[in-house]
Structure 1
Amino acid sequence: MNTLRITMLAVLLVALTALPSQLVAQETKFESKRPPESERCFTSPTIEKTIADVKGRIADSELAWMFENCYPNTLDTTVDYEVIDGKPDTFIITGDIDAMWLRDSTAQVWPYMPYIKQDEKLRKLVEGLVRRQTKCVLLDPYANAFYKDMTRESHWKDDRPTPIDGVHERKWEIDSLCYTIRLANEYYQLTGDASIFDEDWQRGAKKIVETFRTEQRKNGTPFRFIRKTDRMLDAPPFDGTGRPVEPVGLIASAFRPSDDSTLFPFLIPSNLFAVQSLGQMETIFRDVVGDEEFADECQALADEVQTAINKYAKVNHLDFGEIYAYEVDGHGNKVFWDDANVPSLMSLAYLGVHKPTDPIYMRTRKFLLSENNPYYFRGTAAEGQASPHTGKVRIWPMGIILRAMTSTSDDEITQCLTMLKNTHAGTGFMHEAFNKDDPQDYTRDWFAWANTLFGELIVKVDTERPELLKQPLE
């Protein structure tokens, strides 16, 4: 009996002795993946405080580590800020490609927007991005990605027509222009600084509306995109013009936010985004700029597009009732699916186009999370929205994040957080996509938008449902 007690005490002593080393190993495992402070592209004291505060409230050490790595990734690694002609200028690359997408750059700074009133350095960064985006729109409203050096030859110079200097890629995507409006509007709403709505910005805004009007395709379109490629989704069919449409008031988008060509050119999430953006421009030009005529034009176009959405995009599904189609052609043809990129049908509540409790959004969302959606994958590692961009086996972390961002269920949000924790392949960062059965098989090591969006999700949960972060995840 005494021998047994001694043995048990010895085992206990060994266990207690090993405990500190286990804790040290755990801390070592979760060392920060951020660049050294001296090597960071941009730092914000406010964001640093937010990271420390939120991280301190996350019980799951791995999730806290991921948040610390991901949330500042845009600032740490992608920002090129300077003052040009006495005004801030901000260029933000997407990550592993040294070009700036209008969409990505807005989305990358969006999680920092709530702090720009209290952080002058951060405010100037966003002001600089608004001004840089204006330069890009004026250079080519049909382009989706640009270089900082506007004399630089395009990487895609063999595309037809050849992009002009300064343009990285010329894929016409409605959402690219919408994102520039989204950023400028939010900046003004938060700061009251109307200086961004200068002559250049107003010219850019009018070019946006002109482009939207042209791409209603009532008189055809000047846009062509031809690329030598073995990827069928890299260019529209029919000599780069896309499939036929009936001009019914919707705006044609040659490409999706994934940079894949559309099946039917009337991409509904982007048209809904355009209605929202036109409404924001109408208010700006009426209340700030004082241009009633152009404000009326913005409102008229928004009303026309919304009327067409109501008629052609709200469709009765056999199993789910009235939901949104993803793409239509105005002839009555339509497809039911979604793409994990934003804008998507799932993201409509995130963008503020719908409330999470709006009936048509709820029905559409239920469809998107079902087996009826051909791009909703279930695997042994996770389940979630995918994209034609990455094939038939890969789930997008962005899709899981947007599902959590638009959820009203604690259990669903926790499920999403758990899947994100278990599929980063030990890197501490989000990726573009991962194999549904093997998270080690992923695309893009450095995708700043996905990283920062994950950080935005954690901040949102910490603000609205802090209790969900107080327990470790599975």
Structure 2
Amino acid sequence: MMKGILTRFLAVVAGFAIGIHAQCPNYAQYSQQVHEPLSTGRYALPYQRPSPECRTFNSSIVEETITRMATIIKDPDLFRLFENSFPNTLDTAVKWRGVAADNSAEELTFLITGDINAMWLRDSANQMQSYLSLVQASDSKDSLASLYRGVINLQARYILQAPFCNSFQPPVESGIGPSQNQQNPDIFTPPVPTSIAFECKYELDSLAAFLEISTNYYEATGDLEFFRKFKWVETIKTILNTTESLLIGTYARDGSVNTIPYTWKRNTDSATETLDNNGRGNPVLEGTGLVRSAFRPSDDSTIFQLFIPANMMFSRYLDTTSEIMAQIGDQRNLANHMHNFAQRIREGITQHGIVNHPKFGQIYAFEVDGYGSQNIMDDANIPSLLSAPFFGYTNTSDPIYQNTRKMILSPYNPYYMKGPVISAVGGPTQLIFHLAHAGLGLAWPMSSIIQIFTTSSTSEIKDYLHQILSSADGLGLIHESVNSFDAKKWTRQWFSWANGLFGQCLLDLEKRGLGGVLGASFQGGYGRLFG
């Protein structure tokens, strides 16, 4: 009885909030228009933030940070890009906040990726990470910590319901109806109702994202009690069961074909949207210690399912969450199991993921199959090989990483898009709602941002910052991808993850003692070093 009353009350509150925001402009359209005042630099960038009453979440500490950075970032265009980009997730993507119908203490945050009314596990964890340096322990419902808890709790619900899925529909408590994904597969096991999942591409990094956001919240707040509540431990067990089931090889020792827990086959004209071998993917050797991933963080299918960047990320955050698990009581055995599993994956990466390149020497492969096949490339989406130090698997002084980085930022990476506008990593053509939104010749500013995170060279950093500025097409936000020869050809004006990452990057420069770069002027342009 009480549960039904609470559900109806939450629906009324959600409807009231939706009614208020119905009066606000559609940001997907708003962000493609020029709004004054313009910045006073050579690019004359517009002010792209919605008015305060139309922002989906207001944070005083974020506003204070923007005000403070105005005194540090001297170039007016660079500051305008920061001012628009850093708060973009809070301004536009917090679609709904509330509590669980069966537990009023369980906060929930439905965080959309931007122009699609669905919540990706990977994107939402990274969107929140943009504000990690500002998170403080707080019980306030208006705090960044509350947003974090809400995302973690909702991700936990999603993983428990459908651990092989990557993006999800609004929670029933929100009163928001589900969105339809027109790209449903022909064969998919295990099946999941479309009322729960938006799409069910199994990506190892989606599960790693839950471990990442859990680690980030704990390290920022020290709030151990939160992990004792709700369904966090149960979710960790589900993640372990799911990933351990995907250690299996294609063939058993007697030569018979193993039954695998996940398949995906779609009727499509794009190879990145389906798996061969009737939805199973290419064969994988048993006993490598690496976890299979059917898809990459770009939502493109893997060629070889032992996808190294996701295994790196999963190993790194499985280890850190094992430390949380060890402290919450009566879970020492589970914590030890998590730690040992993380170590075995790291050993598998060392044994199978490090290969010899004829020009660059020892490097990390992008994908392997355990049989000796290897895919030498990198993709712009995180986790990538380029971003390995960013998410803490290794550090930039690692010689194998440095060799890999040189390969990635060279013509030897088949998806390094070089041009006079921007030179950065891109990726294969991928389809969303039957529309290609990336592909050959399209570089991702997200990759340029990661290039900044992984270097201390001020000249290199200045060059990348200038590329990002000059590729914004005068619209004042970070695009998903940009034609490396024509800044007016781009995909996705509104991509809140990339925007927040840019703001996070400038704050990181200040933290690393490279804040002097932020005092540089880009009004006369900056000599291209890598284009």
- Compute the TM-score of the two structures, normalised by the length of structure 1: 0.91
Counterpart pick for 1:132 among 140, 147, 154: 154
Q: 1:155, CA displacement in angstroms?
A: 2.4
Distance 1:204 1:362 in 2: 36
Distance 2:402 2:179 in 1: 46
Distance 2:39 2:215 in 1: 47
- Compute the TM-score of the two structures, normalised by the length of structure 2: 0.82
2:117 counterpart of 1:98: yes
Distance 1:25 1:401 in 2: 22
Q: 1:352, CA displacement in angstroms?
A: 1.0
1:187-237: CA deviation from partner (whole Å, max 9, x where unpaired):
112212123323511111001011110111245412011222222201111
Cα pair 2:38 2:47 within 8 Å, conserved = no
Q: What are the within-5 Å matches in structure 2 for residues 194-205 of structure 1?
A: 194-197=224-227, 198-205=229-236
The percentage of aligned residue pairs carrying the same residue is 35
Counterpart pick for 1:26 among 24, 34, 40: 40
Residue 163 of structure 1 is matched in structure 2 by 192
Distance 1:264 1:285 in 2: 32
Distance 2:73 2:402 in 1: 30
Distance 1:142 1:379 in 2: 38
Change (3 A) 1:470 1:199: closer
Q: Secondary structure at the match of 1:363?
A: helix
Q: 1:149, CA displacement in angstroms?
A: 3.2
Q: What are the within-5 Å matches in structure 2 for residues 104-123 of structure 1?
A: 104-117=123-136, 120=140, 121-123=143-145
Residue 7 of structure 1 is matched in structure 2 by none
2:93 counterpart of 1:81: no
1:89 corresponds to which letter in structure 2? L
1:341-384: CA deviation from partner (whole Å, max 9, x where unpaired):
00000000110111111111111111111111111121121211
Q: 1:55, CA displacement in angstroms?
A: 2.4
1:313-336: CA deviation from partner (whole Å, max 9, x where unpaired):
111111111110000001000011
Q: 1:153, CA displacement in angstroms?
A: 7.1
Change (3 A) 1:59 1:250: same
Change (3 A) 1:202 1:246: same
Residue 248 of structure 2 is matched in structure 1 by 217
Cα pair 2:137 2:223 within 8 Å, conserved = no
Residue 385 of structure 1 is matched in structure 2 by 425
Distance 1:118 1:255 in 2: 35
Q: 1:31, CA displacement in angstroms?
A: 4.2
2:298 corresponds to which letter in structure 1? S
2:453 counterpart of 1:427: no
Distance 1:89 1:189 in 2: 20
Distance 1:293 1:199 in 2: 20
Distance 2:386 2:462 in 1: 18
Change (3 A) 1:289 1:157: farther
Distance 1:250 1:122 in 2: 35
Q: Secondary structure at the match of 1:348?
A: coil
Cα pair 1:256 1:262 within 8 Å, conserved = yes
1:74 corresponds to which letter in structure 2? T
Distance 1:422 1:246 in 2: 46
Cα pair 1:54 1:462 within 8 Å, conserved = no
Q: What are the within-5 Å matches in structure 2 for residues 25-424 of structure 1?
A: 26=40, 29-79=44-94, 80-84=96-100, 85-117=104-136, 120=140, 121-150=143-172, 152=178, 155-156=181-182, 158-159=184-185, 160-161=187-188, 162-164=191-193, 165-197=195-227, 198-218=229-249, 219-247=258-286, 248-389=288-429, 390-424=438-472
Bigger radius of gyration = 1
1:286-324: CA deviation from partner (whole Å, max 9, x where unpaired):
222431221222122222212211111111111111110
Cα pair 1:257 1:342 within 8 Å, conserved = yes
Cα pair 2:106 2:230 within 8 Å, conserved = no
Change (3 A) 1:62 1:328: same
1:124-151: CA deviation from partner (whole Å, max 9, x where unpaired):
1111111111111111110000011358
Distance 2:99 2:244 in 1: 34
Cα pair 1:142 1:171 within 8 Å, conserved = yes
Cα pair 2:46 2:476 within 8 Å, conserved = no
1:60 corresponds to which letter in structure 2? D
1:234-255: CA deviation from partner (whole Å, max 9, x where unpaired):
1111211111111222111000
Distance 1:118 1:101 in 2: 25
1:38-92: CA deviation from partner (whole Å, max 9, x where unpaired):
1000010000010111123211111111110000000000002223323321110
Q: Secondary structure at the match of 1:364?
A: helix
Distance 1:216 1:58 in 2: 48
Cα pair 1:154 1:166 within 8 Å, conserved = no
Cα pair 1:153 1:167 within 8 Å, conserved = no
Q: Secondary structure at the match of 1:245?
A: coil
Distance 2:368 2:325 in 1: 31
2:492 corresponds to which letter in structure 1? R
Higher helix share: 1
Cα pair 1:156 1:163 within 8 Å, conserved = no
Change (3 A) 1:410 1:324: same
Change (3 A) 1:89 1:199: closer
1:80-108: CA deviation from partner (whole Å, max 9, x where unpaired):
22233233211100001110000000100
Q: 1:156, CA displacement in angstroms?
A: 4.7
Residue 521 of structure 2 is matched in structure 1 by 472
Q: 1:459, CA displacement in angstroms?
A: 1.4
Q: Secondary structure at the match of 1:305?
A: helix
